[in-house]
Structure 1
Amino acid sequence: MQLVIATYRGHESDYDAIEKSVETLLKENQSLRGNLSALSQAFDGQKRLFEIVLNDLPLGLSVFDADQRLTLYNSRFHQLFGLTPEDIAAGATITDLLEKMRGRESTVSPGGRRAHRPASAKAGSSRIRRREWQMNDGRIIQSVVTVLSDGSNIAIHADITEDRKAAERITYLAHHDLLTDLPNRIYFREQVDATLAERKPDEQIALIHLNLDRFKSINNTIGVSVGDKILQQVAGRIRTSAGSENTLARLGSDEFAILQTGNRQPRSATALADRIRRALSEPFLHGEKRVELSVSMGIAIAPRDGEETDILLKNAGVALLHAKADGRKRERFFTSEMEAQMQLRHALEADLRAAVEKGEFELHYQPLYDLSKQQICGFEALIRWNHPIRGRVSPMDFIPLAEEVGLIVDIGRWVLRQACSDAAQWPEDIKVAVNVSAIQFSGSDLMQDVSEALAAAALLPSRLELEITESVLMENLSEVLPILHALKERGIRISMDDFGTGYSSLSYLSSFPFDKIKIDKSFVNDIVDNKEAHAIMRAIILLGDALGMRVTVEGVETAAQLGLLECEECDEIQGYHISPPRPVRDVPHLLSMPPKSDGNFS
């Protein structure tokens, strides 16, 4: 017993240690249970968050193992490909899904590569591939697949239908005209480049450059919005005439171009030009508006007129300029002579610019003769160009060129100043008439130019008469009228020149109170022998009288014409029968000479 007691007492301390250890283990176990519970809850939370993120992704997600079996996916995945939850049960293979997919893989990618050989890129030990799917409902699905080293893959899938449509629309707009929906200049050049590159040795290609005649003036008259609708109709008629076998483009504004292939040139191009002309000859209607148009065309044929796009376009443009210069409403084929003439034109333009800088111009003056007073009442200033080498250059040659290249503004400003300066030296009852171009209304401050010219010469505004043609009003009526009213308020007289040569002169007489109308000389030629011409002249004179406007008849060359106009009580005449244009030094002599019985000062 003592031995037992002694043994117990010897191990009593061990029992205490064991009890303490047990208590510690129990506490640690309880702590671990708490940690495990917290971890479990956190894991559940992460799992729920993962499921939310996975299924709310706007992109589809799929994961396939090395055996190409589906192991993970989200709801967007089966929505994109039209698969049901049963179709994508765990373990479904790629082959199974392809058979059930409501679409097919695209055979050609946007860049032109075949889809069964997709673009790929290495990323570390993985490869990235892109594939596209054309769904039965018209959608386009793009997949970016990351293939891992063990053969498994992770893919994201996106609906790119709208992006693709937007990209295609941007590409389309970059190559087409918004107003007419025709190919634009960029696309047309690409087509010409490609056609010339693929041209067979015996093949001929025609390039037709079209331009509507005076459309800018018509557009300004009828309004831009109506003009745009007319252009759409024009494009439709040209498209029908050209046919689907030819390439039609709008180069800009009222310019079009056609690329025609075939071996029957120039016959085919001529036939096409005739069809277009007939198609555009029919009036265009917009509501109650009736618009009549004509077209000029320039034609260049490859390889005869060039085998490069730039050369062919340039030569067609040169031919178009000649068609315009020859009276419009026609086509012209390019010739080598045209090129030589263009070179001469460029040389003339260079000389004209130099003439502006060097002051090679002078003014001649043609008398305006008052029939009731039987005396000169004024002079019209007419510009002359004395070239040091060319000699006298006709205004018919350089004025249109000056208007085209913008030099008419500087020339017109000089004419105003010089005419006012010359007139200041004449008697106070003698006026001076100056022609004003349409370009001067839009390309300069005409009101300021006139004011400065009058101020520099100390000339009364009532002694200055500005002559404008109908084209001035046609260019931009809304812009021109305020300027004309401002000039008239200053006391400057406004005259309509070449009355009767335009198609709407009468309508413009009601839009502005002109002081005078000048009847074009083409109406004077036959008034003595032709009853109809005489009747027209009488009607215009009566019209001017009824409207309170003086009437001047230009181009009077015979005593018989003068006598007839006296009987009709015309206000003024102008022409070679009175006197041709004379240098300014002859004006005092003309004013001092009494006229002969027939009014001739010569």
Structure 2
Amino acid sequence: MARAKPITTQKLKSWFLAGDKDLAMLRAQLTVLSGQLPLMYGILLISSWVLASTHMSIAPDWLTLYPPAIATVIAVLRSIDWLRLDPASLSKQQALTRVRGVIKLSVIISIAFTSWSLMLFKYGHALDKVHVSFYMAVTVISCIFCLGSLPLAALIVTLVVNGTFVCFFLFSDTTFFQAAAVNVTLVCIGMMFVMRQSYCHFCHMVEEQARSKQLIEVNERLANRDSLTDLPNRRAFYNALERQCMEACQSEKTIAAGAIDLDGFKPINDMYGHMVGDLLLKQVGQRLQTLADHIPGVAFFRVGGDEFSLIVSDSGSNEDCRLIGEQICEVMHRPFDVDDSEVSISATVGIAQFDPEKDSFQDVMEKADFALYRGKRTERGTCTIFSEHLHCEQRRVVQVQHALKSGALPDEIAPVFQPIVDIVHDRIIAVEALARWNCASLGNVAPSEFIPIAETSGCVADITKIMLEKSLAAARDWPSALQLSINLSAMDVSNEELLMWIYQRIASSDIAPTRINLEVTETALGAESSKVEQHLRLFRHLGCGVSLDDFGVGHSSLSRLHHLPLTKIKIDKSFVTDLHREARNFKIVKSLLTLARDIELDCIVEGVETEQELTLLRELQVKMVQGYYYSKPVTQEHLIELLSQNDDLSAEGIRQSA
């Protein structure tokens, strides 16, 4: 029995006491009380004044006027206070103080109204006494209902008022009052049990709401936070950018948006694996967050892959934005220690200021993306600020994009051909097909301009198809010993549907696959290298050659080169320029030639323009070259004319004729 008492006491406490540590419960209780306590005060005041009015002629004024008047002032002030209360703004301690205040006040109110009622009971006739007893019973019932979300306060009111009522009337000489005391007691007991059940449902509802709110917050965080870097994600970025742009339109606040791209990340990701790549991205996110902590108004976001964005609040001038961009570049340029290995990358940044009179939030991001695009083409690892000059370039890019998507492209794109020469036997062995575009609306557009735009706008596959069709048709008129080289862009190599089309087109062509060579760049091998390798092997099985173009300027690893189904590598022309003056270039070309021989690949040197360059390449035992020294790219008609004048495909004869 001694052990059962604490358990019973604990159960009773759990019946009527709310958890002091649950802020959500405290706020929920106060929310309900802020609506119900003014109602309770109203019921008590009206009932009290009605009772007082029936006793004014039989009881003294200090008992019928002053207590209700004082209670009215207090009740009105308390009601106003409760109606103005915002529970959601209260701290835990403030909410707890409020709840405890209600409990204490319930004691005072119960004692005050009970004492006042019993003092009035001795005045008047039997009906007046019945009115007083009825008033006390209604007081308890109304308080129980209105204090239902705070059971302890309701219990106090019940015990004080009903306890006094029962003791006073139960021992009276009147059977009616004795019976009323018993009835009120039973009713109150029943109501307390009902109230307890309602309170349990109330607590369960609050707990479910708190749990739902927590789940919503978790889902909101997952929806707006990048799990790898813990930076806000693409969704959060565009929501924040749209909101701040709207605020800037309604005020004089200036904002800027920026795009960040990591240079050199993909080769590291391919070389060391995705796990190292993820660790590197995580460190990038940490560095950006640290930078944001030190630069007021700057927020960073990861929008996908190795791409990040930023928003600069109160951005100030373009020079201020440039300083921020330079800090980003400087931070990213420092070596990273990833998985016990030191790796280095850089970051290219594009930033654009928001113009409230001209721009939408999409416009400012397009400008930032264009500034980034311009920076990656010209000055990687630096910050580019969108300017009026870039705005003109952007308009030009839009014009080129529209022209590329016009139906006239098949008639406007045409191949020109540049010979590839075997300098050991002084013979032309192949020609490379190069795209030229004579646009009806824009005139002649350089490949260096339209090819990158076609890649970013998704039109490069159309150009590749046109070039292949027209080049295969042209090759029918060439000597059967002459090979055809076709360029595939990075986008082409990752486009499985296009590669299958090329495969079928070559297989069904009357040009032998062994006469066709596909040229891919090192950058094309960076993404999904295993799939690229698989696709290229299909062409090797068909009989086509595969060349690695612009070798030496990308990030190919020796292990990957060894596994790729290559037949040739082409040394980039940047190493050949001034070969006879630059000892460094000479050593690089010599090393690349040695590498090609070691991995048993043929080698073509591009960009040969002078006799001196050719002489040095002969000393290095180069076998194949390509460049203006022998011939510039020529049209099909001109090539046919050159070939007709040199039946033996003599390279010297072609050079003299060209």
2:263 corresponds in structure 1 to: 213
For 1:397 and 1:582, locate their aligned partners in 2 and report how far apart those are by CA, in whole Å.
20
Say whether the 8 Å CA contact 1:363–1:419 is kept in structure 2.
Answer: yes
**Which of 473, 478, 501 is 2:553 aligned to?**
501
Scaled by the length of structure 1, the TM-score of the pair is: 0.73
**Which of 173, 176, 184 is 2:233 aligned to?**
184
1:277 corresponds in structure 2 to: 329
For 1:598 and 1:561, locate their aligned partners in 2 and report how far apart those are by CA, in whole Å.
18
- Give 1:217 shift: 5.4
Q: What does the per-residue CA deviation read over 1:402-428, in whole Å, with 9 as the maximum and x for residues that have no partner?
A: 111221112212222222222222112
Evaluate the alpha carbon distance shift between residue 276 and residue 395 of structure 1 in structure 2; reply closer, same or farther with a 3 A threshold.
same
For 1:196 and 1:546, locate their aligned partners in 2 and report how far apart those are by CA, in whole Å.
58
Say whether the 8 Å CA contact 2:507–2:513 is kept in structure 1.
Answer: no
2:34 corresponds in structure 1 to: 117
Matches within 5 A, 1:392-471: 392-471=444-523
Matches within 5 A, 1:382-393: 382-393=434-445
* Aligned length in residues: 502
Structure 1 unaligned segments of length 5 or more: list them.
Answer: 1-77
Say whether the 8 Å CA contact 2:631–2:654 is kept in structure 1.
Answer: no
Identical-residue share of aligned pairs (%): 27
Q: Tell me, yes or no, if structure 1 residue 223 matches structure 2 residue 273.
A: yes
Structure 2 unaligned segments of length 5 or more: list them.
Answer: 1-5, 44-82, 100-138, 146-194
Q: Tell me, yes or no, if structure 1 residue 152 matches structure 2 residue 144.
A: yes
Q: For residue 551 of structure 1, give the secondary structure of its aligned residue in structure 2.
A: strand
- Give 1:377 shift: 1.1
Say whether the 8 Å CA contact 2:503–2:539 is kept in structure 1.
Answer: no
Matches within 5 A, 1:10-89: 84-85=10-11, 87=13
Evaluate the alpha carbon distance shift between residue 179 and residue 274 of structure 1 in structure 2; reply closer, same or farther with a 3 A threshold.
same
Structure 2 residue identity aligned to 1:366: Q
Structure 1 residue identity aligned to 2:10: T
Report which of the two has the higher share of strand: 1
Structure 1 residue identity aligned to 2:563: S
For 2:422 and 2:576, locate their aligned partners in 1 and report how far apart those are by CA, in whole Å.
17
Evaluate the alpha carbon distance shift between residue 196 and residue 561 of structure 1 in structure 2; reply closer, same or farther with a 3 A threshold.
closer
For 1:450 and 1:224, locate their aligned partners in 2 and report how far apart those are by CA, in whole Å.
31
Say whether the 8 Å CA contact 1:176–1:183 is kept in structure 2.
Answer: yes
Q: For residue 466 of structure 1, give the secondary structure of its aligned residue in structure 2.
A: strand
Say whether the 8 Å CA contact 1:297–1:320 is kept in structure 2.
Answer: yes
**Which of 3, 20, 34 is 1:102 aligned to?**
20
1:372 corresponds in structure 2 to: 424
Q: Tell me, yes or no, if structure 1 residue 296 matches structure 2 residue 348.
A: yes
Structure 2 residue identity aligned to 1:375: R
Structure 2 residue identity aligned to 1:464: I
2:289 corresponds in structure 1 to: 239
For 2:276 and 2:457, locate their aligned partners in 1 and report how far apart those are by CA, in whole Å.
29
Q: What does the per-residue CA deviation read over 1:54-89, in whole Å, with 9 as the maximum and x for residues that have no partner?
A: xxxxxxxxxxxxxxxxxxxxxxxx99xx98346579
Q: For residue 377 of structure 1, give the secondary structure of its aligned residue in structure 2.
A: strand
Matches within 5 A, 1:335-346: 335-346=387-398
- Give 1:213 shift: 2.9
For 2:608 and 2:393, locate their aligned partners in 1 and report how far apart those are by CA, in whole Å.
35
1:254 corresponds in structure 2 to: 306
Say whether the 8 Å CA contact 1:213–1:293 is kept in structure 2.
Answer: yes
Scaled by the length of structure 2, the TM-score of the pair is: 0.68
Say whether the 8 Å CA contact 2:410–2:466 is kept in structure 1.
Answer: no
Q: What does the per-residue CA deviation read over 1:501-526, in whole Å, with 9 as the maximum and x for residues that have no partner?
A: 11335443222252111111111112
- Give 1:345 shift: 1.3
Q: For residue 183 of structure 1, give the secondary structure of its aligned residue in structure 2.
A: coil
- Give 1:266 shift: 3.7
For 1:548 and 1:540, locate their aligned partners in 2 and report how far apart those are by CA, in whole Å.
12
For 1:364 and 1:529, locate their aligned partners in 2 and report how far apart those are by CA, in whole Å.
31
Evaluate the alpha carbon distance shift between residue 285 and residue 423 of structure 1 in structure 2; reply closer, same or farther with a 3 A threshold.
farther
Say whether the 8 Å CA contact 1:83–1:102 is kept in structure 2.
Answer: no
Residues 368-377 or 159-168, more deviating: 159-168
Q: What does the per-residue CA deviation read over 1:290-320, in whole Å, with 9 as the maximum and x for residues that have no partner?
A: 4322212222234578675344333333332
Evaluate the alpha carbon distance shift between residue 445 and residue 205 of structure 1 in structure 2; reply closer, same or farther with a 3 A threshold.
closer
Evaluate the alpha carbon distance shift between residue 596 and residue 298 of structure 1 in structure 2; reply closer, same or farther with a 3 A threshold.
closer
For 1:570 and 1:299, locate their aligned partners in 2 and report how far apart those are by CA, in whole Å.
46
Q: For residue 637 of structure 2, give the secondary structure of its aligned residue in structure 1.
A: helix
- Give 1:220 shift: 4.3
Evaluate the alpha carbon distance shift between residue 435 and residue 162 of structure 1 in structure 2; reply closer, same or farther with a 3 A threshold.
same
For 1:338 and 1:557, locate their aligned partners in 2 and report how far apart those are by CA, in whole Å.
34
For 1:345 and 1:119, locate their aligned partners in 2 and report how far apart those are by CA, in whole Å.
66
- Give 1:529 shift: 2.5
Q: What does the per-residue CA deviation read over 1:538-584, in whole Å, with 9 as the maximum and x for residues that have no partner?
A: 23223323332221111111112222222322111111110111111
Structure 1 residue identity aligned to 2:541: E
For 1:390 and 1:119, locate their aligned partners in 2 and report how far apart those are by CA, in whole Å.
76
CA root-mean-square deviation = 3.9
For 1:255 and 1:83, locate their aligned partners in 2 and report how far apart those are by CA, in whole Å.
62
Residues 525-534 or 434-443, more deviating: 525-534
**Which of 222, 225, 232 is 1:173 aligned to?**
222
